[in-house]
């Protein structure tokens, strides 16, 4: 194993609170409704923070709560500095922040720098003419001689990335919905405006930012066509899947902009920034965006989020991507979030979902890097069933039935099984609550010492107690599939982590002078979907 660096000072450790942290993602629309309109809000979150703190996590990440027409449920921002009325007010946010800090929780919020809503004042001015002060704040281009879009770029959700605007007599770029025009971050004035937004939230006391779709923040100004994907190399559910996205995203100037954001946040001390990085270049960009010392602290990978199955090869690949070399950034991992079907349903493949939930929770806390828990993951929630007539997600509606979209991961949190709408709201929620979720409500699991909720608390506490799990190095061990084994180390402490991903029991004799400190489904033999963490005596 590599030699560890010296133990940091107390002051440095406080600055690096994020390293190895457990961060709990809250999707505000679906966490808790305080005012009876069927939509979750900031006061509802504040009222439920005791539950989050009881898990032993270090921080919460709030998905967007900013002013928005909600075409993409908050990722289409019309005012970066305002709270949307459905979620509350800036004063409500301040109270939530104060309550979180009182409970010892850091608060990380989303920032969307790649695009705004078409209702944003910046875009309304930009589209008004070709010579106004904000004319170049978005990406505009002339039509081809035949009137068609400037190039072949395809949007993430559906269709071309270009929409015609009669006011300007030009097309504007949008990598997502047509109501989400792309900012022109090549423009220094736009960068300055975004940094002012960052400063606004830092001044309010937030502890960090998750940068949404940051690899879409800059495009190739030459508008070069993207090359096509060779037919037969993957399932193509929508036009976006037909090409390699080399020119509408991932521009070489993005890291220099991230360095400016890092310099600003560093001036406040103890802040944390993590990038959302997806797509075919994600592994390279995660490294590029987090190279020390002047870029982001971490990058949020999709390796597990979009994986149809959990395999030894996947775990080995993700762990070997981040060996801890000099100058290397720090990874973040999640198995579920608001954009991906819940992993318990993706990975169960007909097996016991409770066993999958426990095994994957044990695995997640053992990974090197930061880990993100998505609300309800501590309850072992599967993907919810949402009928077509209740779908809200524009991607799901547009691409049905090839993709069921994101709604099944966004349904309301079940708090009390015996109450209407599982205690989330006194009225019908914006998305239906699955009966399978009601059966796994917080109050039922709170009353059962053997529940998934109590298991989650116990192993999150283990991660905090063991420096080897939180910040130690990792080393893969050579074992036959479907077993996965690796060790974690910090100083003289060593932990052995072993997991059986298969459908049959398997032997993994514990070495002499080692003792199991946490397990699920493990006895003399590792049961299917069993695992353990052991410590050298």
Residues 94 and 212 in one domain: yes
> Is 171 buried (19+), middle (13-18) or exposed (0-12) by CB count in 10 A?
buried
Where residue 271 falls among pLDDT bands split at 50, 70, 90?
Answer: very high
pLDDT at 11: 55
Tokens standing for 453?
């909720």
In a domain, 499, yes or no: yes
This model's pTM is above 0.75? yes
Last residue of a domain, one of 462, 493, 517: 462
pLDDT tens, 8-34?
445 556 779 999 999 999 999 999 999
Residues 457 and 478 in one domain: no
In a domain, 228, yes or no: yes
Kindly report which listed range (7-21, 271-285, 360-374) carries the lowest average pLDDT score.
Answer: 7-21
Residues 500 and 457 in one domain: no
Instruction: List the beta bridge partners of residue 83.
Output: 66
Where residue 521 falls among pLDDT bands split at 50, 70, 90?
Answer: confident
Nearest residue to 487 via CA among 499, 478, 475? 475
Last residue of a domain, one of 411, 430, 462: 462
Identify whether the C-beta of residue 18 lies closer than 8 Å to the C-beta of residue 370. yes
Instruction: Taking residues 382-401, report their average pLDDT.
Output: 87
Last residue of a domain, one of 413, 431, 462: 462
Where residue 456 falls among pLDDT bands split at 50, 70, 90?
Answer: very high
User: Rg (Cα) of the chain, in Å, rounded?
Assistant: 23
Tokens standing for 365?
């806390």
Of the chain, the end-to-end C-alpha distance in Å amounts to 19
pLDDT at 232: 74
**For residue 219, what are the CA distances in angstroms to 138, 223, 235, 334, 340?**
11, 8, 26, 27, 25
pLDDT at 341: 93
Instruction: Taking residues 146-175, report their average pLDDT.
Output: 96
Residues 380 and 263 in one domain: yes
In a domain, 467, yes or no: no
- Give me the catalytic one of 276, 377, 487, 518: 276
Please tell me the distance from the alpha carbon of residue 265 to that of residue 330, in angstroms, as a whole number.
Answer: 17
Residues 421 and 480 in one domain: no
Nearest residue to 114 via CA among 156, 143, 86, 142? 156
Q: Number of structural domains, the chain?
A: 2
Residues 502 and 397 in one domain: no
pLDDT(417) > 60: yes
Name the helix (H) or strand (E) containing 170: strand 170-173
Residues 432 and 489 in one domain: no
In a domain, 468, yes or no: no
Residues 206 and 330 in one domain: yes
Tokens standing for 373?
């828990």
What is the DSSP-derived secondary structure letter of residue 333?
A: E
Tell me which residue range forms the domain holding 298. Answer: 10-117+186-462
Determine how many CB atoms are found less than 10 A away from the CB of residue 73: 21
pLDDT tens, 294-333?
999 999 878 999 999 999 999 999 999 999 888 899 999 9
pLDDT at 158: 81
> 276 an active-site residue?
yes
Instruction: List the beta bridge partners of residue 183.
Output: 138
Please tell me the distance from the alpha carbon of residue 282 to that of residue 301, in angstroms, as a whole number.
Answer: 7
Percent of the chain at pLDDT above 70? 96
pLDDT tens, 46-87?
999 999 999 999 999 999 999 999 999 999 999 999 999 999
pLDDT tens, 84-140?
999 999 999 999 999 999 999 999 999 999 999 999 999 999 999 999 999 999 999
> 446 an active-site residue?
no
Identify whether the C-beta of residue 46 lies closer than 8 Å to the C-beta of residue 96. yes
Please tell me the distance from the alpha carbon of residue 138 to that of residue 167, in angstroms, as a whole number.
Answer: 14
pLDDT(231) > 80: yes
In a domain, 160, yes or no: no
pLDDT at 5: 36
Where residue 6 falls among pLDDT bands split at 50, 70, 90?
Answer: very low
Query: Which is higher by pLDDT, 492 or 479?
Result: 479
pLDDT at 13: 60
In a domain, 403, yes or no: yes
What is the domain-level CATH number for residue 51? 3.20.20.80
- Give me the catalytic one of 58, 72, 118, 212: 212
Residues 360 and 492 in one domain: no
Please tell me the distance from the alpha carbon of residue 267 to that of residue 430, in angstroms, as a whole number.
Answer: 40
In a domain, 147, yes or no: no
Please tell me the distance from the alpha carbon of residue 214 to that of residue 93, in angstroms, as a whole number.
Answer: 24
What is the domain-level CATH number for residue 522? 2.60.40.1180
pLDDT at 8: 44
Query: Nearest 10 degrees: CA dihedral of 134, 138, 139, 141?
Result: -40
Nearest residue to 182 via CA among 246, 120, 256, 225? 120
Identify whether the C-beta of residue 515 lies closer than 8 Å to the C-beta of residue 534. yes
pLDDT at 109: 98
In a domain, 411, yes or no: yes
Please tell me the distance from the alpha carbon of residue 463 to that of residue 200, in angstroms, as a whole number.
Answer: 34
Residues 454 and 478 in one domain: no
pLDDT at 7: 39
**For residue 142, what are the CA distances in angstroms to 110, 240, 248?**
33, 22, 16
Residues 370 and 483 in one domain: no
pLDDT(523) > 80: no
Residues 451 and 520 in one domain: no
pLDDT(445) > 90: yes
Identify whether the C-beta of residue 2 lies closer than 8 Å to the C-beta of residue 473. yes
């Amino acid at each position: 194993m590599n030699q560890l660096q010296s133990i940091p000072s107390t002051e440095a450790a406080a600055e690096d609170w994020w390293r190895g942290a457990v961060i709990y993602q809250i999707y505000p629309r679906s966490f808790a409704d305080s005012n009876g309109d069927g939509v979750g809000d900031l006061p509802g979150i504040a009222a439920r923070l005791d539950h989050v703190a009881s898990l032993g996590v270090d921080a919460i990440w709030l998905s967007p709560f900013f002013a928005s027409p909600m075409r993409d449920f908050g990722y289409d921002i019309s005012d970066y500095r305002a709270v949307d009325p459905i979620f509350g007010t800036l004063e409500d946010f301040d109270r939530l922040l104060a309550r979180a800090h009182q409970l010892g929780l850091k608060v990380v919020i989303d920032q969307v720098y790649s695009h705004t809503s078409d209702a944003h004042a910046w875009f309304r001015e930009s589209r008004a003419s070709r010579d106004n002060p904000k004319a170049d704040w978005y990406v505009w281009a002339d039509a081809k001689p035949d009137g068609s879009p400037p190039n072949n770029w395809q949007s993430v959700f559906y269709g071309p990335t270009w929409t015609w605007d009669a006011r300007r007599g030009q097309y504007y770029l949008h990598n997502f919905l047509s109501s989400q025009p792309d900012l022109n971050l090549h423009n220094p004035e736009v960068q300055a405006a975004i940094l002012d937004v960052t400063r606004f939230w830092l001044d309010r006391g937030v502890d960090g930012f998750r940068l949404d779709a940051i690899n879409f923040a800059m495009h190739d100004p030459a508008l070069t066509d993207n090359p096509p994907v060779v037919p037969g190399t993957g399932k193509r559910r929508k036009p976006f899947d037909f090409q390699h996205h080399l020119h509408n995203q991932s521009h070489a100037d993005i890291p220099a902009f991230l360095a400016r954001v890092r310099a600003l946040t560093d001036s406040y001390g103890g802040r944390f920034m993590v990038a959302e990085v997806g797509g075919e270049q994600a592994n390279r960009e995660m490294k590029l965006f987090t190279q020390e010392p002047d870029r982001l602290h971490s990058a949020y990978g999709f390796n597990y989020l979009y994986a149809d199955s959990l395999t030894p090869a996947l775990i080995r690949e993700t762990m070997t991507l981040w060996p801890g070399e000099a100058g290397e950034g720090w990874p973040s991992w999640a198995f579920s979030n608001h954009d991906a079907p819940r992993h318990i349903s993706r990975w169960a493949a007909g097996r016991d979902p409770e066993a999958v939930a426990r095994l994957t929770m044990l695995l997640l806390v053992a990974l090197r890097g930061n880990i993100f828990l998505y609300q309800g993951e501590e309850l072992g929630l599967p993907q919810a069933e949402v009928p077509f007539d209740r779908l809200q997600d524009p991607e799901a509606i547009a691409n049905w039935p090839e993709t069921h979209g994101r709604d099944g991961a966004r349904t309301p949190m079940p708090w009390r099984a015996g109450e209407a709408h599982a205690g989330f709201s006194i009225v019908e929620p914006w998305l239906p609550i699955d009966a399978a979720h009601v059966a796994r409500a917080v109050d039922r699991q709170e009353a059962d010492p053997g529940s998934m909720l109590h298991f989650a608390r116990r192993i999150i506490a283990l991660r905090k107690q063991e420096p080897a799990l939180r910040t130690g190095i990792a080393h893969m061990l050579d074992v036959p599939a479907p077993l996965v084994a690796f060790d974690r180390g910090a100083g003289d402490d060593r932990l052995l982590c072993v997991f059986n991903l298969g459908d049959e029991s398997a032997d993994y004799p514990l070495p002499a002078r080692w003792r199991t400190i946490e397990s699920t489904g493990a006895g003399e033999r590792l049961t299917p979907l069993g695992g353990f963490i052991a410590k050298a005596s």
